[in-house]
């Protein structure tokens, strides 16, 4: 039998450490040459650690890019409309981790920052600012001065955004910073438009577009959000004091012209009745066989409109007869083209009824809806108004209900480009990660509509198209040409008009291009395209496109289409998509809910009053209504009753990357971020412990020597083995872009294994700093921290750099000027799977002992003793470790229990052995109470298990409950059953 006790351990250690010397005074600190100038703080303070580092990084990290192709990315350009939010912080954290990891592996990197002019959004916010400050509209000051106001806004906001990027510790190449409206980008936009126009891929057409009456501009299909309503629902609409009702189906009758009778149709938009030009029925619908070719009388225009046959009509829906309004409905527009119907526009750009509509002229469209319904009732034509599920198209930019208007617009023909983009993925030339988005990619590209790229705005890239005619024939048909200046336009038009250039009048289109058109050119425009520059040849295509899945179509698909079309090759070969950041409850972040969290508030902390001040400022700027402000303040009080604590940039970065970024949604919880700040402090304290221990060893006339694996203690070898596992796991996880796996491995090693286990096991040996065991412990600690900090550096660069500079000097540890100049750890040779398995058994045993001590309240004053019955060889060299970690005064191991003085309580360590903990005589009297408490816990667990099983086995649970709920219930049930089994075994012991 092997026996180990606290007293025996002291004697054992004294024998080994016979050369022990008295400690020298601790005032002689053992510091590295670089850290002597700076005091090592007692605890981790993010603001102190992060201060001043960014400036040093910029000095030290300017790559001299040689001929090798670097790892290259661009930051998805944030809009200059405001400041960065947590979604931007996630993007920056992910990309900065990849860049730093590659830099530390001696791979050159090129990471380009920039900002987007955000045409619609910026114009709206500056217009509001202009009205708030000067009570003027853009029309009052004119286009030139309005653009000057926007440039002022841009300069102010871009500096704020730059500082936010730096505060996060993100380190792109600022020397290559771009703005989508700068000269280089504007030239590329103009050239791209001209090439696409000349090749027939850009055309101008009168077409039904999505029109925002608030923005006074067309918007693209993917800028329209589709809001589902199931019945009559009141909704706020910009420009209306009272909510507007949607989800009502109005049924009314058209009187037949050639005979008595009527035809009943239905609509969810009574205001469009004014623009009806036909009634459609299905060609095979026998009910209307006699009415084909006949007419009905329009109730307001008092003119006949035809009854036509078209297969788009569903005979089973309603009466099987459908009103046709080509000027204000996408489906009807196509029907009108097929049948050569006239278009009668009745709603103008402001959303008002047009003057040609008689007595309804000048009314707002949704006011007219109510009046028209009332008039139909007066005329005896209203048949019913019923609840009806419908989809309301809403402008994602303004919140306005989209109106469909026929407008002359510029379109990009996407058919051929979309087909190629789909084939690139199908044939493996382009990879989308996670792969689940491939199906979405194919679905969108295979059902794509032509892209409306013109916007009726003042801010943006002016459409480089000119309408031209001959001077002497202004009334003759005009031609459109695409050109980069007036002279070039006249040259091109002269060919089409068969005249001299000087005889051509050319007028440039007033519209600007969709913001996404310019940003879709970035992967190659940034490197000087259309010129064949050295940069274009070296850096294009990019290595990776990393961005949120919510802009997969807005931006990524369009980059692929235009990149392939204009350069002949893909702009990148891999797409990495991350999820949308939500609050801790899974809700989308919204200012009106009060759950928006700014990165700087998490980094620096903010009081509840500070959060409220921010909300009130947003209200004062007109971005929040009074009702939204009240909801926001209420939401802040619920979510952050004590404000947001200071967490620091490193904790924020680590927290964001700790989630599976490839999920659809990422729920951000401030408390999780604060926990990771405490994790930083845990590492800080480990470094402090190591410094003090090293100081004591040196004070005892010892020197730290290179690790000699064979003479290290068992726990030294174990932690080095776990270090080897961590390094391999983190590198593999980063190669797969599984950041959450990497952060989990880092936290498991640094927190659970190094700090909670290994450091504790070194304390007995470090009591004798003059011996070989202490030297081995300190050398092992220094190596683990050096390698561990370099591994965590891409996630926590500030902390890693600070602590690496403060590590004790060691012959195997090199000091580097900055953390990014340090090499990233790769494969290590210390892995010992058998040792890890043995130590895991010992750690499981510690858990069992601690559990028994807690259950029976056996405190340290009783000098706990444990007997382990086992034949496992795992216990042979680890009994002293079990004693140290479990707080036992004595631990013995034997195949059989034998004679034990006193009462014992028992629990098993899997199938490896059984722990018998001696209950002190003075505590035996309490055992009846302890067992009663145990029975009460078992009874409660039985009730919880029964209740959960009934829920899981209930009818419809597996078919109706979301998979996420089913998984959570199954996990909870397994946990409860495991706890119940453990307590029942304890009861029987």
d(CA 580, CA 551): 10
DSSP secondary structure letter of residue 292: T
pLDDT band at 458 (very low <50, low <70, confident <90, very high): very high
The model's pLDDT over 497-525, given as tens digits with 9 standing for 90+, comes to 999 999 999 999 999 999 999 999 999 99
pLDDT band at 35 (very low <50, low <70, confident <90, very high): very low
β-pair type (454-455, 512-513): antiparallel
Strand residue runs (E) in 549-617? 574-578, 580-582
In the prediction, which pLDDT does 475 show?
A: 78
- Cα angle 972-975-979, degrees, rounded to a multiple of 5: 140
d(CA 889, CA 8): 10
Least confident of 339-348, 370-379, 585-594: 585-594
pLDDT band at 357 (very low <50, low <70, confident <90, very high): confident
Of 79, 80, 233, 87, which Cα lies nearest the Cα of 590? 87
Q: Are 704 and 674 in contact (CB under 8 A)?
A: no
Average pLDDT over residues 99-119: 94
Q: Are 16 and 771 in contact (CB under 8 A)?
A: yes
In the prediction, which pLDDT does 18 show?
A: 30
β-pair type (580-582, 665-667): parallel
Of 267, 371, 283, which Cα lies nearest the Cα of 323? 267
Q: Judge whether residue 64 has pLDDT over 60.
A: no
Q: Are 878 and 943 in contact (CB under 8 A)?
A: no
pLDDT band at 33 (very low <50, low <70, confident <90, very high): very low
Q: Which of 115-129, 655-669, 705-719 has the highest mean pLDDT?
A: 655-669
In the prediction, which pLDDT does 963 show?
A: 67
Signed CA dihedral, 82, 85, 90, 93: sign only: positive
In the prediction, which pLDDT does 152 show?
A: 93
Quick check: helix, strand or coil at residue 86?
Answer: helix
Of 986, 866, 857, which Cα lies nearest the Cα of 922? 857
In the prediction, which pLDDT does 305 show?
A: 95
In the prediction, which pLDDT does 65 show?
A: 55
In the prediction, which pLDDT does 859 show?
A: 87
In the prediction, which pLDDT does 223 show?
A: 81
- pLDDT-above-70 percentage for the chain: 93
DSSP secondary structure letter of residue 499: S
- pLDDT-above-90 percentage for the chain: 65
Q: Are 960 and 981 in contact (CB under 8 A)?
A: no
Average pLDDT over residues 398-409: 91
Average pLDDT over residues 954-967: 72
Least confident of 18-27, 206-215, 348-357, 736-745: 18-27
Strand residue runs (E) in 549-700? 574-578, 580-582, 665-667
Give CA separation, 449 vs 194, 209, 221, 562, 899, in Å: 21, 12, 8, 15, 85
Q: Which of 109-118, 468-477, 764-773 has the highest mean pLDDT?
A: 109-118
Query: Measured over all CA atoms, what is the biggest interatomic distance in the chain, rounded to whole angstroms?
Result: 121
Average pLDDT over residues 275-288: 93
Average pLDDT over residues 863-877: 88
Q: What are phi and psi of 924, to 5 degrees?
A: -60, -35
d(CA 547, CA 76): 7
Q: What are phi and psi of 82, to 5 degrees?
A: -160, -140
| Other residues' Cβ atoms within 10 Å of the Cβ of residue 56 | 12
Least confident of 57-61, 224-228, 959-963: 959-963
Quick check: helix, strand or coil at residue 841?
Answer: helix
The model's pLDDT over 259-275, given as tens digits with 9 standing for 90+, comes to 999 999 999 999 999 99
Q: Judge whether residue 738 has pLDDT over 60.
A: yes
Q: Judge whether residue 2 has pLDDT over 60.
A: no
Least confident of 698-707, 731-740, 849-858, 885-894: 698-707
Least confident of 289-298, 513-522, 975-984: 975-984
Give the list of residues 6+ apart from residue 236 with CB closer than 8 angstroms, or none: 243, 244
Arithmetic mean of pLDDT over the chain:
88
Q: Judge whether residue 83 has pLDDT over 60.
A: yes
d(CA 211, CA 99): 42
- Cα angle 372-373-379, degrees, rounded to a multiple of 5: 85
User: Burial code of 422-433, b = ≥16 C-beta within 10 A, e = fewer?
Assistant: bebbeeeebebb
The model's pLDDT over 757-799, given as tens digits with 9 standing for 90+, comes to 999 999 999 998 888 899 999 999 999 999 999 999 999 999 9
β-pair type (109-112, 71-74): parallel
In the prediction, which pLDDT does 985 show?
A: 66
d(CA 909, CA 407): 76
In the prediction, which pLDDT does 966 show?
A: 78
- Cα angle 154-159-165, degrees, rounded to a multiple of 5: 120
Q: Judge whether residue 11 has pLDDT over 50.
A: no
Q: Judge whether residue 671 has pLDDT over 90.
A: yes
- Strand partners of residue 296: 256, 305
Q: Judge whether residue 10 has pLDDT over 80.
A: no
Give the list of residues 6+ apart from residue 305 with CB closer than 8 angstroms, or none: 276, 277, 278, 279, 295, 296, 297, 298
Give the list of residues 6+ apart from residue 237 with CB closer than 8 angstroms, or none: 243, 244, 366, 400, 401
Average pLDDT over residues 731-743: 97
The model's pLDDT over 593-618, given as tens digits with 9 standing for 90+, comes to 778 889 999 999 999 999 999 888 88
pLDDT band at 17 (very low <50, low <70, confident <90, very high): very low
Of 673, 659, 676, 671, which Cα lies nearest the Cα of 579? 659
Total count of residues recorded for the chain: 989
Q: Are 368 and 375 in contact (CB under 8 A)?
A: no
In the prediction, which pLDDT does 34 show?
A: 37
Q: For residue 72, give both structure tokens.
A: 């290259």
Q: How far is CA 180 from the centre of its chain?
A: 23
Q: Are 709 and 782 in contact (CB under 8 A)?
A: no
State the pTM of this model. Answer: 0.83
In the prediction, which pLDDT does 66 show?
A: 59
């Amino acid at each position: 039998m092997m026996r180990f006790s606290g007293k025996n351990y002291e004697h054992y250690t004294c024998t080994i450490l016979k050369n022990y010397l008295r400690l020298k005074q601790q005032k002689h600190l053992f510091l590295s040459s670089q850290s002597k100038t700076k005091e090592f703080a007692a605890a981790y303070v993010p603001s102190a650690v992060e201060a001043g580092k960014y400036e040093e990084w910029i000095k030290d990290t300017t790559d001299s890019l040689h001929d090798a192709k670097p790892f290259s990315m661009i930051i998805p350009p944030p809009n200059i409309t405001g400041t960065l939010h947590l979604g931007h912080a996630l993007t920056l954290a992910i990309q900065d981790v990849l860049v730093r990891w590659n830099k530390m592996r001696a791979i050159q990197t090129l990471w380009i920052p920039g900002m987007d002019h955000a045409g619609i959004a910026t114009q709206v916010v500056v217009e509001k600012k202009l009205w708030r400050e000067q009570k003027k509209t853009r029309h009052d000051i004119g286009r030139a001065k309005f653009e000057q106001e926007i440039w002022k806004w841009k300069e102010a906001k871009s500096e704020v955004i730059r500082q936010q990027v730096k505060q996060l510790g993100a380190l792109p190449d600022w020397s290559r910073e771009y703005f989508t409206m700068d000269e280089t980008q504007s030239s590329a936009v103009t050239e791209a438009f001209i090439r696409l126009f000349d090749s027939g891929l850009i055309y101008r057409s009168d077409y039904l577009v999505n029109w925002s009456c608030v923005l006074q501009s067309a918007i693209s299909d993917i800028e329209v959000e589709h809001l589902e309503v199931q019945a009559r629902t009141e909704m706020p609409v910009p420009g209306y004091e009272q909510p507007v009702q949607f989800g009502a189906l109005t049924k009314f009758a058209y009187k037949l012209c050639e005979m008595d009778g009527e035809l009943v149709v239905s609509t969810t938009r009574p205001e469009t009745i004014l623009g009806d030009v036909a009634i459609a029925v299905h060609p095979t619908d026998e009910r209307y066989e006699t009415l084909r070719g006949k007419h009905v009388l329009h109730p307001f225009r008092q003119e006949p409109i035809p009854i036509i046959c078209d297969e788009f009509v569903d005979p089973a829906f309603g009466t099987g007869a459908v009103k046709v309004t080509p000027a204000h409905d996408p489906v009807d527009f196509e029907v009108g083209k097929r049948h050569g119907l006239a278009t009668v526009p009745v709603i103008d750009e402001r959303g008002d009824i047009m003057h040609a509509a008689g007595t309804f002229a000048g009314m707002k469209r949704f006011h007219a809806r109510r009046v028209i319904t009332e008039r139909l009732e007066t005329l005896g034509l209203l048949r019913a108004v019923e609840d009806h599920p419908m989809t309301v198209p809403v402008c994602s930019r303004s919140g306005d209900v989209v109106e469909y208007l026929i407008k002359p617009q510029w379109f990009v023909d996407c058919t051929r480009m979309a087909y190629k983009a789909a084939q690139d993925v199908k044939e493996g030339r382009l990879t989308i990660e996670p792969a689940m988005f491939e199906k979405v990619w194919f679905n969108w590209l295979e059902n794509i509509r032509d892209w409306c790229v013109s916007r009726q705005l003042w801010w943006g890239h002016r459409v480089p198209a000119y309408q031209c005619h001959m001077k002497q024939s202004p009334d003759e048909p005009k031609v459109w040409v695409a050109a980069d200046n007036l002279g070039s336009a006249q040259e091109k038009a002269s060919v089409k008009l068969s005249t001299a250039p000087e005889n051509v009048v050319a007028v440039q289109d007033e519209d600007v291009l969709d913001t996404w058109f310019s940003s879709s050119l970035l992967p190659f425009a940034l490197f000087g395209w259309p010129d064949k520059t050295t940069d274009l040849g070296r850096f294009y295509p990019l290595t990776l496109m990393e961005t949120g899945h919510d802009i997969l179509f807005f931006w990524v698909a369009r980059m692929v289409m235009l990149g392939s079309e204009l350069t002949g090759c893909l702009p990148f070969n891999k797409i990495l998509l991350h999820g949308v950041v939500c609050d801790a409850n899974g809700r989308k972040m919204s200012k009106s809910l009060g759950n928006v969290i700014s990165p700087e508030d998490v980094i620096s902390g903010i009081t509840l009053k500070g959060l409220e001040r921010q909300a009130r400022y947003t209200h004062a700027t007109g971005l929040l209504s009074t009702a939204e402000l009240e909801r926001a303040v209420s939401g802040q009080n619920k979510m952050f009753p004590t404000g947001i604590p200071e967490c620091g940039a490193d904790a924020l970065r680590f927290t964001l990357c700790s989630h599976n970024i490839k999920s659809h949604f990422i729920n951000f919880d401030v408390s999780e971020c604060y926990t990771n700040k405490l994790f930083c402090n845990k590492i800080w304290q480990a470094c402090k412990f190591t410094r003090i221990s090293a100081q004591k060893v040196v004070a005892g006339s010892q020197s730290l020597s290179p690790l000699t694996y064979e003479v290290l203690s068992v726990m030294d070898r174990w932690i080095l083995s776990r270090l080897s596992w961590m390094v391999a796991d983190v590198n593999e996880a980063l190669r797969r872009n599984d950041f959450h796996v990497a952060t989990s491995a880092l936290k498991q090693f640094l927190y659970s294994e190094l700090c909670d286990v290994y450091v504790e096991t070194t304390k007995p040996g470090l009591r004798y700093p003059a011996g070989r065991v202490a030297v081995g412990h300190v050398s092992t600690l220094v190596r683990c921290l050096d390698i561990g900090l370099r591994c965590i550096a891409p996630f926590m660069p500030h902390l890693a750099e600070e602590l690496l500079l403060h590590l004790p000097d060691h012959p195997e540890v090199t000091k580097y000027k900055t953390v990014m100049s340090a090499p990233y750890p790769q494969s290590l040779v210390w892995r010992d799977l058998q040792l890890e398995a043995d130590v895991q058994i010992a750690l499981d045993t510690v858990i069992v002992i601690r559990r028994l001590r807690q259950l029976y309240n056996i405190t340290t004053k009783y000098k706990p003793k444990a007997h382990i019955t086992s034949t496992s060889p795992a216990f042979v060299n680890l009994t002293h470790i079990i004693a140290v970690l479990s707080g036992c005064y004595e631990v013995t191991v034997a195949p059989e229990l034998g004679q034990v003085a006193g009462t014992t309580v028992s629990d098993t360590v899997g199938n490896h052995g059984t722990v018998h903990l001696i209950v002190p005589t003075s505590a035996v009297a309490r055992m009846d109470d302890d067992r009663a408490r145990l029975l009460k816990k078992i009874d409660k667990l039985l009730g919880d298990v029964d209740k959960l099983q009934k829920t899981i086995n209930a009818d419809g649970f597996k078919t109706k409950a979301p998979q996420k709920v089913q998984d959570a219930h199954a996990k909870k049930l397994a946990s409860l059953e495991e706890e119940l089994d453990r307590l029942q075994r304890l009861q029987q012991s």
